[in-house]
Structure 1
Amino acid sequence: MVNISDIENFWTRGDIYSRVRQAMSAANLDNKNLDVEELFPIDQYHARGIAATIDLGKKMPISENQKILDIGCGLGGPARYYAKEFKCHITGIDITPSFIEIGNEFNRLTSMSSMIDLCLGNGEKLEFEDEVFDGAYSQHVTMNVSNRINFFSEAYRVLKKNSFFAFTEHGLGPKGDPIFPLPWADNSEMSFLLTPENTISILKDVGFIDIEIFETGDKYIQGYEKLIKGKTEERNPVLGIHVIGGPTMKERSSNSMQSIKENRTQPFEIICKK
């Protein structure tokens, strides 16, 4: 089992709070009211950015005023987008204290605090009662989860009957191990990839039904190419995922793109129902 502190250290890479504050100040966005959209360059921590969040949102049957759970919320970017788009209430949990601190500050700056609650939590042991949420989602979290049965079982437990569960991840491909370091892990000790088939099997064992899977490899190759091209040409905006990912982001992104091209990994989205 991976140590939670190791995951936290990997994702924060030093004083992330200071880096974010400096970037916000340089962009002239600190201590002022912001639109949710102004934070997209930094709070959508995926190779495809807001496009990945929008794509997943189109598959989630969220209704106004529903209670939705974000498992592994990061800085709360997807939560803010979905809360605004669907007029729902979102509870986000993450194991990284600095992510929660920054995310709640972003909620305040965007006047979204009344619609979003971000707090410390572990997806393998959720501190919620049974059947309290109308839906749940997770974006690129499970690659760091060693026990998928616990993770999926906990999501199942806190969902109301007929509620949805949606997530995105990089699955294990047929051509061997991925090329490290990667955006989610420096080595195999922090990376726990499953094939899409194994993932679906565990979901079924836990009790989920109506499982649909969508292959997204080509979209992620395009996303990585765009990200890497921007870095190569030194055109990074003041805000960007490089603020979170640090100076090795280009190498890790290149390895992830190559892993997809060589069928070592298989990015996909899944939507299912309790």
Structure 2
Amino acid sequence: MGGLTYIDFLAKFGIGGAHPGGFSLTKNMLLQEKITQNSYILDAGCGTGQTSAYLYEQYKANVFGLELNPIMIEKAQNRFQDRQLPIQLVQGSIEQIPFKDETFDFVLSESVLAFVNKPKALKELFRVLKKGGRFLANEMTINKKLTSQEETEIKEFYAVDSLLLEEDWRKILKETGFHDTKLSMHPLDFVNGNTGQEFNFSANFEPELFGILNQHGNILVKYHDILSHRIITCTK
């Protein structure tokens, strides 16, 4: 497949709301929080900027987007410029966040931690949150332990280093220092009502990316009772 990955597919297709539950679940998650125009919010791994744009347009908050992928950065930048949104976009990794300690009231991460070193990234997210700040995430989980063959197949396709059960997430969040942790699981048919998904295709995307899309679909079907996602909320 010429070394192309699932992340390349997301970037070239310019998918917004690619995470499970889609954009409607994001909006619902944000509704539960006390976000105001005085809030400082980091959209960590902001992708093409769909959620960042919504955060500013809905709440007039101080929004910062952090993204590593250059294609996604360009698409997010174009979105913010087209809509004249005063969102600060920074290229960087959530494993080494280029912001000072205790900068943000809220940090949001949607299907980002799955693809990085989780303990390292969570320490960084914790560091940049103010005391009493809130961490909100929508992340991949597994519902039961996998065989080593199943685990290898999923990890190799998505290029992830680990697959966590709900109790693994609880443990790692507690070890990081978070408290008031809540995890909620949403039925997978919630994904089917994903009206917020959008596409912003790159001019030059490789035909092999359709193969990655197909493989992604096959994995979701094959592991529909094992692969899941949780909404995670916790406080520093």
Q: RMSD of aligned C-alpha atoms?
A: 3.0
For structure 2, list consecutive stretches of 5 or more residues without a partner in the other structure. none
The residue aligned with 2:7 is 11
Distance 1:190 1:59, change over 3 A: same
Contact 1:72 1:92 in 2 (8 A): yes
Return the structure number with greater relative CO, CA threshold 8 A, min gap 6.
Answer: 2
Which secondary structure does the structure 1 equivalent of 2:54 belong to? helix
The residue aligned with 2:109 is 138
The residue aligned with 1:160 is 130
The residue aligned with 1:95 is 68
Contact 1:181 1:252 in 2 (8 A): no
For structure 1, list consecutive stretches of 5 or more residues without a partner in the other structure. 1-5, 21-41, 228-238
Contact 1:63 1:86 in 2 (8 A): yes
Contact 2:6 2:158 in 1 (8 A): no
Give the CA deviation at 1:179. 7.9
Task: Please give the alpha-carbon distance, in whole angstroms, between the structure 2 residues aligned to 1:241 and 1:143.
Answer: 22
Distance 1:79 1:257, change over 3 A: farther
Give the CA deviation at 1:57. 1.2
Task: Please give the alpha-carbon distance, in whole angstroms, between the structure 1 residues aligned to 2:115 and 2:84.
Answer: 31
Match of 1:187 among 157, 162, 177: 157
Match of 2:189 among 221, 234, 237: 221
Task: Please give the alpha-carbon distance, in whole angstroms, between the structure 2 residues aligned to 1:140 and 1:189.
Answer: 13
Give the CA deviation at 1:44. 2.3
Give the CA deviation at 1:256. 1.9
What amino acid is aligned across from residue 100 of structure 2 in structure 1? E
TM-score, normalised on structure 2? 0.82
Equivalenced residue count is 225
The residue aligned with 1:172 is 142
Task: Please give the alpha-carbon distance, in whole angstroms, between the structure 2 residues aligned to 1:159 and 1:13.
Answer: 31
TM-score, normalised on structure 1? 0.72
Give the CA deviation at 1:47. 4.5
Task: Please give the alpha-carbon distance, in whole angstroms, between the structure 1 residues aligned to 2:141 and 2:10.
Answer: 28
The residue aligned with 1:270 is 232
Give the CA deviation at 1:66. 1.2
The residue aligned with 2:18 is 45
Which secondary structure does the structure 2 equivalent of 1:187 belong to? helix
